[in-house]
Chain A
Amino acid sequence: MPTTEPSRAELLALYERMLLIRRMEERLRADAAAGNLPGAVHLYIGQEAIATGVCAQLRATDLITSTHRGHGHFLAKGGDPKAMMAEIWAKRTGICRGMGGSMHVADFSKGILGANGIVGGGFAIATGAALASKLLHDTRVAVAFFGDGAANQGVFMECLNVSSLWKLPLLLVCEHNQFSEFTPSQDITSGDIADRARAFKIPTTVVDGNDVVAVWQAAGEAVGRARSGEGPCFIQAHTYRIQGHLEAEDLFLAGGKYREKHEIDAWRQRDPVERQQQRLLAAGVRPDDLQAIDARIGRVVEEAVKFAVESEPADSDLALELMFVGQKA
């Protein structure tokens, strides 16, 4: 099958979405450092091409599961920047009304079944969503985003088995960013994760996860296949986590070290947002147009922060209402 080339409009849309994720998170990084955000914040900086490239191939009704590093997936699938920002600021206007926070941003109305604090928690949820799609005879596809660390949970292999066996419309996207917290992936992972999917006869593509077009193309084929009833697909996207495992990781490391600065710098040279920018310039897009995009996104981010800051704190008794549907805690 010949690979599809994105149109100029598609290239621009991919760029804009990646830049939105980047600028939102740069702001979160600053606010985390300033002590404005409660709780842990795990940033996606450097990995934006993956969520963006995959979600650009999805329909609004498709379903995704995400991870503790979930802001990018949320925004790529069309989540509202304001509602996400307010959530992380623990405000009642947040997408989860301040009950979930950074690690749990979710918007079920947009098929975003949620970021997750449990590593590997998304696999079976996405598999179940794909099962429902199949049983209900609709054409929705489910996507599980997960890290290389999560691929060592047994439930990953269990979901490969059941989804392949039942030909579920599932796409598994492994974001191989080399680390599981402070442990290098190779120290705790035997073999190639992609081979695990191959062993279950699942079509597998390995892509440069810092190239949004490569991800977009791989996802296009995989989603098409899943939607047409041929069963699950697996994409392994190689990338790198530029920020710490979480903001303020130095506090946890207490002087310990798990990677070298030159390694981070080398990966900065492969920044997915800049690469897409170069691609656009090479295609003849004018620098002014790119600046206009950045300015527009800057306003979106400013508005989101303003909205978050000006919103009321979460309702402190809401948890008592929300444990059940129509039933008190």
Chain B
Amino acid sequence: MARKRYTHAINEALIEEMSRDPRVIVYGEDVELAIMGDTRGLLDRFGRERIRNTPICEATLTGMAVGAAAAGCRVVVHMMFSNFIYTGFDAIANQMAKLHLMTGGQAVMPITIIAAYGGGASNAAQHSDSGYPALVNLGGVNVAMPATPADAKGLLKSAIRGNNPTFFMEAIGRGGEMGEVPDGDYTVPFGKAATAREGRDVTLIAIGSMLKPTLEAAKKLEAAGIQAEVIDPRTLVPLDEEALIAAARKTGRIVVVDEARDRCSAASHIAAVLADKAFGALKAPVKRVTVPNVCMPYAPNAEKRMIPDADRIARIATETARA
């Protein structure tokens, strides 16, 4: 165990997986000097046979991943900001997500796509989306949402070893958190939620970047005499429905916190699942704390209003706990 930054944990996972399996390759724009920090040092260690800078051509980067996977590589593509997933969306939505089915199970796509999402840095609308609900809706891709350095390491290793296309969504918008990371070959299975905090009065389900403000909110609630449980689904596809339903049964009061836009967000999907499968246990409406249905404004004051923070989460959680 050692304290590490989120990007450092990702770096460690990449080094370990590239060392473990010579078929793992990494490419993307400016991965060599590591514009996002997480691929730093890989070039020196592994050379251009294993990691390389690409031209700016996202439509080709995602398409090549399909072909390289078909031809025997385990592919890690770094898309930098998650908005650039849109630029490369065709091969994702029309090939990657569909080929296993369409080929009657022949195509196996061990592809990991890394991208940083979220706002908070005044990067404006084309660099601040939390676009993962669109990926969730594709059906044929996994979506991992690590919130902590430990989960970043463990989920990335599982993603690279897995045989399905997987999006690994980096919550590094605000610099990347510090946290304890287990040493050695640490993996986190997909589809297993984590309990970040125990409590009996209200359950806060926090997705990815929202774990931190949600835990802050839980502290505020504690001061007000409300014991909040905090659950982190860790992957949206597959989704640990069982854990979420169990949480709903425990407190009967649920708030889902998500940095995506509200409409068809991950939060709204989770709310729907609980309304469907835990209806009898609910004591209050399932509430969503999300970004309004807007694109992220540039001005810091305006951006701050849009992104859920501890105060907003605590206020809605309090209402839900007392409803």
Contacts and interface: CB of A to CB of B under 8 A. Distances in A.
Interface of A: 38-40, 90-91, 96, 98-101, 103-104, 116-121, 149-150, 152-154, 180-183, 187-189, 252-254, 256, 258, 313-320, 322-323, 329
B33 A182 contact: yes
Interface in B292-311: 292-302, 304-306
A203 B126 CA distance: 33
A111 to B, nearest CB: 21
A154 B60 CA distance: 8
Contacts of A154: 57, 59-60
Contact of A90 (B32, B84, B299): B299
B34 A98 contact: no
B55 interface: yes
Contacts of A182: 30, 32-33, 35
B87 interface: yes
Given A154-B59, A313-B299, A39 B122 contact: yes
A149 B53 CA distance: 12
Contacts of B34: 254, 256
A144 to B, nearest CB: 15
9 contacts: A38-B122, A104-B126, A118-B83, A150-B56, A153-B57, A183-B30, A253-B33, A256-B40, A329-B292
B138 to A, nearest CB: 21
Interface in B8-43: 29-30, 32-35, 37, 40
Contacts of A180: 29-30, 55-56
B56 A119 contact: yes
A86 to B, nearest CB: 11
Interface of B is mostly: loop
A182 B31 CA distance: 10
Contact of A98 (B32, B84, B298, B306): B298
Interface-central residue, A39, A104, A152, A256, by most chain B CB under 10 Å = A39
B301 A314 contact: yes
Contacts of B35: 181-182, 252
B124 A116 contact: no
B123 interface: yes
B55 A254 contact: no
Nearest to B87: A118
A152 B61 CA distance: 12
Contact of B32 (A183, A254, A316, A319): A183
Contacts of A187: 53
A315 B302 contact: yes
B57 A98 contact: no
The 6 A-B pairs at the shortest CB distance, nearest first, are namely A117-B126, A314-B299, A101-B298, A38-B122, A39-B122, A152-B55
A313 B292 CA distance: 20
B288 interface: no
Given A182-B33, A182-B35, A329-B293, A317 B302 contact: yes
Given A180-B56, A182-B35, A323-B294, A39 B29 contact: no
Given A119-B56, A329-B293, A313 B83 contact: no
B121 interface: yes
A100 B124 contact: yes
A322 B60 CA distance: 33
